[in-house]
């Protein structure tokens, strides 16, 4: 499974649309097996979603996302976990443990467990990485 997070100064970037760096983490059997950072150069929603699809991102953990980028990510079949915040390492540990829905990882005013529906129009709840 490949998880991506837009990052800035060791934390989740507050807005995906304006993020310049993406951390990409690969998991196998619940363990991290690879990690890299990628510069985000594209400016349009469709291109940014296409870049994430090209990177084979399965799950994107981020703060806020514009409606157009959210729609493009849904069309690209990337699972998006919205309105998240916090230090990158803590967010990743919480995701792996299945506790990312904890209020300390939610943006102020954000609904816990808010996700962009997938291409079928359904959302999936938080889970442990297996």
What domains lie within the chain, and their CATH numbers?
A: 2-116 (3.30.420.130)
pLDDT in tens, 9-23: 999 999 999 999 999
Sequential DSSP letters for 90-109: HHHHHHHHT-TTSGGGBPTT
Is the pLDDT at 99 greater than 70, yes or no?
yes
Q: Would the CA dihedral through 25, 47, 39, 101 be positive or negative?
A: negative
The DSSP bridge pattern shows strands 59-61 and 2-8 to be parallel
- The per-residue pLDDT for 8 is 95
Its pTM surpasses 0.85: no
Crossing angle between the packed helical segments 45-54 and 67-75, to the nearest 10 degrees? 40
Q: Is the Cα dihedral 39, 61, 44, 118 positive or negative?
A: positive
pLDDT above 70 (res 68): yes
């Amino acid at each position: 499974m490949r998880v991506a997070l837009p990052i800035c100064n060791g934390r989740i970037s507050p807005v995906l649309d304006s993020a310049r760096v993406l951390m990409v983490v690969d998991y196998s059997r619940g363990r991290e097996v690879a990690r890299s950072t990628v510069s985000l150069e594209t400016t349009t929603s469709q291109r940014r979603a296409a870049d994430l699809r090209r990177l084979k991102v399965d799950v994107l953990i981020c703060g806020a996302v514009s409606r157009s980028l959210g729609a493009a990510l849904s069309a690209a079949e990337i699972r998006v976990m919205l309105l998240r915040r916090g230090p990158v390492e803590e967010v990743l540990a919480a995701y792996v443990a299945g506790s990312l829905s904890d209020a300390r990882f939610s943006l102020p005013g954000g609904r816990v467990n808010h996700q962009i529906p997938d291409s079928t129009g359904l959302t999936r709840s938080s889970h442990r990485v297996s």
